[in-house]
Structure 1
């Protein structure tokens, strides 16, 4: 073997001495030259491509890794960079020395990164290490990154946009069947994670060290003692003495499960996010009432971009069963988002777009998810956010025929929910005619446009659903006739109901206008369906007059479909 720089023996002796010398056993980071020796030995092993050299370096390298791990809690300086170099050696030459790097990688995440994720140097080096080895990690250790995605999100949330570009390169590798669903609420709540980390820093000091680890370890015994004391004595343990009410409100209640859920390091499945807990409510309110920190503002920008990647990967790579399971979570979280105006708008826009894309990809989801969809329709007027969600669901129900021709029972139940929503609005609109002036004077008149918009979508969904499923046509006529007779306060709803009633008298035209779209999975068009793209070359005289821009009276000549279609 050729020693290219003449220091091979020196580096190997330095490594061997650090691996066995008791003076450095407690804190290997005290030797400033050790990092360079390990790094140089790794480079020499790559350059020489000698298995004998790798075999000589591996034993002291493995011992040094174990000593670094055991000394982390007593170390006065970081050993993260040293551990990353050793891990690189394990990944590069593990097959030669028969070393399984998976336990070593997990040890690094649990023992080192969980304590030092807030260190910008360690954070950047870790992301670079993961990016450099992402292909090997995905193929050889596919469960590693999905297991530790909460820790990686803490790292990116605390260090901000400067690491975002690099983090996005490994982000798809974080998604797996086991992490796909738990990852979604974690991304949505990225700003809350920043709020929780900042509260820990204010109450416990720097996050570099054992601050969060000590909170996580001490909470379970405290909660257990509190429950035992309450069960056996009927009393409760005080939260912090008689003067606890005068303490700084930024101190986290360690027994609050909401913060433990946000501060965890490993993926342990979907857990309930306690948005209604007192600790969470006070934390969100404090974040809104004080100037936003730079980290919080950066997280408000990063979360939508991370969701963009999440949804694009989901539509490209994730199977239908997981996407179907995600949609109810999406519906639930639509109303519980960090209450920043721009952030909530950007997130809800992406959530609704993904939901509609998922229904477009697999219309069967509408039938499979009829229960949560019906529940969301029942909450249509609880808040503006729920109104918008119900509106989009109405559009999807009508556009995809309640799941398609093969889901007649589900379509009937969805139709009944739309009927109920329509009849409730008809009855309330009659009462509302006498209360409009009161609503406007009290500042609540803004509800009327959203209500009318929703009613237009409900009427359209009823008409389209009846066009898909002809057995619902008589009930649809009754529903639309009631709207026409009730003459709601918004003329658009009344006019739309009349138009659809007229269309239903012309089955072929109705099927063309309200029937399955060109994206339908039907093998061939239904009989009588008009191909509107060929409208300029066809002639027909029997077209309902209400389509012709409300022209009255019979036409005096035949006309082409180009007279019906809007000109571009």
Structure 2
């Protein structure tokens, strides 16, 4: 199988390889369970080079590539599929057509030649020739076989998890050249296929992968949320799938929030480094509040995450974070977008603080202080101010507050507690709920209280 995959650039061989794998999938999984996980880089080259016409066949074998040893490396390789295309096209421009040749032969190492030269010197006494001046072609497009970026991108076998250095000169020049040049057909197809591959990868992971592997994937996903191929549509589609998977993983195992306290705290601290990191922080705030920082048993984690949320909130109450006095020098549209994005994040921060304090009652006094500062702040966006004020009002009604802001993974029964999962079969109403609809003044009813309570 590996021999045929080496001819990935030949469409006839590629089609025959995928047909063979799909036809014999059960036998391969029983007799050679490590085959596909070991050689998934070759299969990724195959689909990257041949494009969408083999997408359905590739999707059928993608779940079989996932194993304990390939789970994390496969994620990075799928995410970087467009960059693999760029590297392969660079190889083709440097060395000619890829049909009938393999990357291994193009990237042939000089180590065997040096070994033979050393043996020749040892046995015959002849000196090793200085090959430093014989550099071959001066073409700047040639591949540097010693560059770890290209060695990792163009490898044929899974050799474990390797973090790619996006700030390396090779990667920067590669991405810059790609951005300034028109996209090839192969690259455009890879940009369309990659989100679909990731969607299947995440679906399979949630269904078949154990919690320890999922927990290991989440920090890797967070680190790549803002680091991917620079295409707007591609980035949007990939981040959407990242967010859906991350929230589904937290829903499945809320304890992940406690286990990943350090990376979550780090991401909250980077919330304003870029729009993508702001979006990631928003989702993390939602998960922290929704799942009570992992549950009532994780009080220390809840306190530390609460402090991170407090810090993020207080930083934004200062004029320096809001950028007041600097907007005249910035384009008005950019300034409006920044303020809108900031207000959106702060709404989630305020909600997370209120929900976290509702789950962990020892945090209620600090939450009231934080929300009161927002409600009294002159710099607060009206939406943020309104939400903080509403939550302060809810906190004076503990039962209602627990029903509205309580953790979705913690089911508590008691007077005034609403089980929202029964909303489709039971009608439950409480007069203070009108504040959640942002209605001004008293609620409107078609009945009088005297119709319910008789006159004395």
Residue ranges of structure 2 left out of the alignment (5+ in a row): 116-130, 452-456
Q: Does 1:374 align with 2:262?
A: no
- The 5 Å alignment of 1:401-420 reads 401-420=292-311
Q: Could you list the per-position Cα deviations for residues 112-156 of structure 1 after superposition, in whole angstroms to 9, with x for gaps in the alignment?
A: 235412111111111111111001111221111001001110111
Q: Distance in 2 between matches of 1:155 and 1:548?
A: 54
Deviation, structure 1 residue 398: 0.7
What corresponds to 2:202 in structure 1? Answer: 311
C-alpha distance 557-257 of structure 1, shift in aligned 2 (>3 A): same
Check the 8 A contact 1:488/1:494 in 2, yes or no.
Answer: no
- The 5 Å alignment of 1:392-471 reads 392-428=283-319, 432-441=323-332, 443-471=334-362
Greater mean alpha carbon deviation, residues 427-436 or residues 390-399: 427-436
Structure possessing the higher radius of gyration over alpha carbons? 1
Equivalent of residue 274 in structure 2, options 362, 374, 383? 383
Residue ranges of structure 1 left out of the alignment (5+ in a row): 1-107, 225-236, 561-568
Equivalent of residue 529 in structure 1, options 398, 403, 417? 417
Q: Distance in 2 between matches of 1:492 and 1:270?
A: 44
Deviation, structure 1 residue 413: 0.8
Check the 8 A contact 2:5/2:43 in 1, yes or no.
Answer: no
Q: Could you list the per-position Cα deviations for residues 183-205 of structure 1 after superposition, in whole angstroms to 9, with x for gaps in the alignment?
A: 00100000100111111111112
What corresponds to 1:57 in structure 2? Answer: none
Check the 8 A contact 1:506/1:544 in 2, yes or no.
Answer: no
What corresponds to 1:70 in structure 2? Answer: none
- Taking structure 1 as the reference length, what is the TM-score of the superposition? 0.71
C-alpha distance 536-123 of structure 1, shift in aligned 2 (>3 A): closer
Check the 8 A contact 1:545/1:554 in 2, yes or no.
Answer: yes
Deviation, structure 1 residue 216: 4.0
Equivalent of residue 338 in structure 1, options 226, 229, 232? 229
C-alpha distance 476-213 of structure 1, shift in aligned 2 (>3 A): same
SS at match of 1:313: helix
C-alpha distance 276-239 of structure 1, shift in aligned 2 (>3 A): farther
What corresponds to 1:5 in structure 2? Answer: none
Q: Distance in 2 between matches of 1:219 and 1:334?
A: 38
Check the 8 A contact 1:150/1:267 in 2, yes or no.
Answer: yes
Check the 8 A contact 2:327/2:335 in 1, yes or no.
Answer: no
Equivalent of residue 161 in structure 1, options 30, 46, 52? 52
The number of residue pairs the alignment matches comes to 432
Equivalent of residue 43 in structure 2, options 134, 140, 152? 152
C-alpha distance 293-475 of structure 1, shift in aligned 2 (>3 A): same
Check the 8 A contact 2:87/2:153 in 1, yes or no.
Answer: yes
Q: Does 1:328 align with 2:213?
A: no
RMSD across aligned C-alpha pairs, in angstroms?
Answer: 2.8
SS at match of 2:278: helix
C-alpha distance 299-219 of structure 1, shift in aligned 2 (>3 A): farther
Q: Which has the higher contact order (CA 8 A, sep 6+)?
A: 2
- The 5 Å alignment of 1:505-544 reads 505-517=396-408, 520=409, 522=411, 524-525=412-413, 528-531=416-419, 533=423, 543=432
Q: Distance in 2 between matches of 1:380 and 1:223?
A: 51
Q: Distance in 2 between matches of 1:512 and 1:476?
A: 17
Equivalent of residue 371 in structure 2, options 458, 473, 480? 480
Q: Distance in 1 between matches of 2:113 and 2:232?
A: 38
